[in-house]
Structure 1
Amino acid sequence: MIASTPGLMEAVRGRFAHVETCPFEGERIFFESAGGALRLKSVIETSAAYAGYPDNQGRDNPASGALMEAIARGKADMRLFLNAPGGQVFVGESGTEVLFRLVRTAALGAAEGGRMLGSTLEHPASVSAMTRWADVTGRELIRVAHDDASGTVTAEAYRQHLTPDLRVVSIVHTSPVTGMSVDVGAIVAEVRAVAPECFIIVDGIQHASHGAVDVAGIGADGYAVSPYKMFSRHGYGVGWASDRLSACPKEQILGGAAENWELGTRDAGAYATFSDVVAYLEWLGGQVSDADDRRALLEAAGHAIAEQEAMLMRGALSGVGNLPGLKDMPGVRLIGGEAVEGREGVVSLRVEGMESGALVSHLRDHGIRVHIRKNDHYCGNILGPLGLEDCVRVSLSHYNTEDELRRFLTVMKDVTGG
């Protein structure tokens, strides 16, 4: 575990910018990683360097060659991170835009007729894309109900709605509100057993920073991530599409490669900063394992990250030392249950008799950064069925410490009188 390896936590935190202080308000604990993780210092340096290069790709000069090398290396690192030996990896405007393109291409490329299927657990990025392209293609869109109590959706719930005429299915890997993960592989297997030609698109945006990603093992046709949630920066999204999805007609320059997903000149710095993330994960994997294969190092890093975050989640829910956990504090209502297993870095809550906005402000005044989520177009799918207008989301990552958690629980104990 990261925390139990001497010096490792300090080394991890040393690779990130603004770990303990905000440049605008001073010292603070960062429990808002689901809204955008801390940035690697290497990412910041790389971004600045590539933003300054005036040269373009595809020219006959060393600078252009270096940009092309960075893009090729970035794409190779994306494949390595995703474990995607086949298909195409590409950079888009954002994770949301990538999801829209994957869903649109699947909906227009699938056989005519049939139905589309998603779930009520999903983020509006995929829900909106599925709704839009079901409407355009004249297909019925069915949404599998998630379980309010557990904060997730199961393969069994999907199974009840599977029919051979399914054309596109969407799955969220982890909910950004409940923090609960989904057994994507099991759902994909269920879908393939009934509708083998169906295109399956996975929203991995919340999951990607909390453990290893394995698109080859999942068996879907599309996967999307947002690098700003996985230690990189804003301004781009990363997508993967299977060979058969890439073969479908899509927007592209006439005469270009048929499998190409990218339009126009992409930012070489986006690829380079993704390589920075992969390099960090390789380093971390080397600190917690004896692996020497690059993919094995990434898997070791993913396991260590998941283990560290499970320890933090266990402490947040059940307590640390003599401090009670959230589940034992009077008046605290947890969104999506009390389970640690399957929870990836997020716990959302309400305190009886206290407005969520007031709790966010109170925690901020005590140097703890969290975020309010409201019953709106972003989170109404989770909060609406519970009859809640808002909640407070506390989102951690592997760079957070037990001491930071202890400080959070101390403030919450005072708030609740627990």
Structure 2
Amino acid sequence: MQKYSLRARLSAPLLSLLLAGGLGAGAAGCQDAAQADTQPDPSEGAPGEVRSDKQRVANPQVSESARQALVAGNTDFALDLYREIAGEDKNLFYSPFSISEALAMTYAGARGETAAQMAETLHLNTQQDQVHPAFNWLDAHLMNLGETPFNEGSEPFELAVANSIWGQTGYHFEEAFLDTLALNYGAGLHTLDFNGAHEASRQTINGWVEDQTNDRIKDLIPAGVITKDTRLVLTNAIFFKASWLHAFEKNDTAAGEFTRVDNSTLQVDLMEQTNFLKYAQMEGYQAVELPYDGGDVSMLILLPEDLAAFEQNLDAATLSATVDALSVQNTTVTLPKFEFKLDLPLGETLQDMGMTEAFSDDADLSGMTGTRELMVSDVVHQAFVAVDEEGTEAAAATAVVVGPGSEPPEPVEFRADKPFIFMIRANQTGSLLFVGRVLEPNAAQ
């Protein structure tokens, strides 16, 4: 029996500091409709849609244990993945949340050993039927963050998640699978004619991703990847932008040296500010937390003395101990401006992490179609990050008021002029939205 390919495509742009004019998210979910397959013009790659007539659950009832298990599992997966790819000699940036959610949609159709391997690799530590409502809960929680900025005149940050699945027109997909997508991910299944118009289909999907990411992610699926044998493509887009709660003043940015791993140096633009921030001096590394306006999401920066040794032992326990040790201190932070885009092929990496069967002829994705014809052929993640001093005018005026006659303590110094690791976290749940590493910032402008 011929195996057809399922391609998972994940997209996670991050614009963490606002640029003039701002960028909108534009990631509204599809409208619910009765299950139908309407293909306007397959030869042009125009999508139809097959979906459940069920509406997304607006207030999913998920136990506290299931919520904690999802967040803890995603953290374990995020750092497993980091250690797996840390040996690559380049900047890193990815969204473990985005990757997990897209693969969770695949997991909805997985059965037997295929499902067991996916659950173990992704650290999905609850029953399969509880995983999807938990993701729905986390989506809803994240969408409500940052609605009230602290700084007067500041725009609330934007965080938008969009999921979509693209299937071969005329192909049968199980009703229960479509129901799971609709109820928990707000997603229908768009139909395209991969068999007769694979290039037009590729352009349609790439156009959808561009729309969801404000044109930050272009050409997610390269030419030649989608073929006549493709039967299913998964896409997940997550878009985030935010002002710093305490903005860096542009007048304080100056050219300086950044020391690479090999001890060579690069001239970069170094931002600097002194403020009362959460800081910790740990054994072998420093940590500082830079909050975004609204206080719901922060960037945690880890600055190790020995990057390679630290990376080998970076796990959830290390992260938890670091967060617990943070305390508000007068801190001088020096941080380079940086911006980069990363294409991260994940197929081989996921197999190395234990998810082998889904990529083989033994794959059991029968929950999707009722047969074992599908297998995963590839998973690709593309991400964009930009960090500079930009924030709102009011943010620069934020300060801690000290009582009469007292002097602020001498600031501790956090100088990130060498390789560092950063994470974007939802503070209340601890969810890791993004994880990155800077080995080489952009050269000074």
Which category of TM-score, normalised to the shorter sequence, fits these structures?
under 0.3
Q: Structure 2-normalised TM-score? A: 0.26
Q: Which has the higher helix share?
A: 1
Q: Structure 1-normalised TM-score? A: 0.27
